[in-house]
Amino acid sequence: MPTNPRYFALTLVALTVLTAGCAKKKVAVKTPPPPPPAPMAAPAPEKPAPAAVASNPSPAPAAERPGYPDAVTRARIDELLARIEDAYFDYDQHTLRPDAIQALESDSAELRDILKDYPDYKLTIEGHCDERGSAEYNMALGEARAEAAKSYLTGVGIPAGQLGLVSYGKEKPACEEHDEACWQKNRRVHIVAVAQK
């Protein structure tokens, strides 16, 4: 082997280069930055608890307003209104007689329980009079009779805002004879449901 220092230095440099070239290089891995935080979504509105399903449910129309009963419940209200008899009054009076209170009392508790769940559902109390007296006087008397019935019904818990009043005076008689038996049938209040708009 030659001992030339130059040869030795070249060999040493070559070995160093070869060794360095064969050594595993650690490559610096650049980690990507974390993704930007997602924008906060607005919280979803809470869904109301599902309503109790009636024994004979019917699909509610899409345009139905909240607070308005479905067809099954409206049918039950109509049934109750049909069973509540007209309340009758004495001549020239607007004070509820015991038989009038009994007529209004009939099924009013169930009606109250239904109506409180449907604030948009309204009833109208119609006041009527017999043919005697002027039209103006009978309009005022019919209104006083309707007010007396409303006062009773709000007293049993039906919300006042769901009870409207109208007086027909002597304009819509139930009977057209000209005697006391007929006049008694005309001195009354009658309760009807307000038609849905």
Q: Are 85 and 188 in contact (CB under 8 A)?
A: no
Q: Are 107 and 126 in contact (CB under 8 A)?
A: no
pLDDT at 110: 87
Closest CA to 192 of 102, 111, 90: 111
What are residue 67's phi and psi, to 5 degrees?
85, 5
Per-residue pLDDT of the chain (197 residues; tens, 9 = 90+): 555 666 655 565 555 555 555 545 554 545 555 555 555 544 555 555 555 444 555 555 545 556 788 889 889 888 888 888 899 999 999 999 999 898 888 778 888 988 888 988 999 999 999 999 999 999 999 999 999 999 999 999 999 999 999 999 999 999 999 999 999 999 999 999 887 65
Quick one: CATH architecture of 71-193?
2-Layer Sandwich (3.30)
pLDDT at 106: 76
Closest CA to 96 of 125, 132, 139: 125
Domain boundaries along the sequence of the chain: 71-193
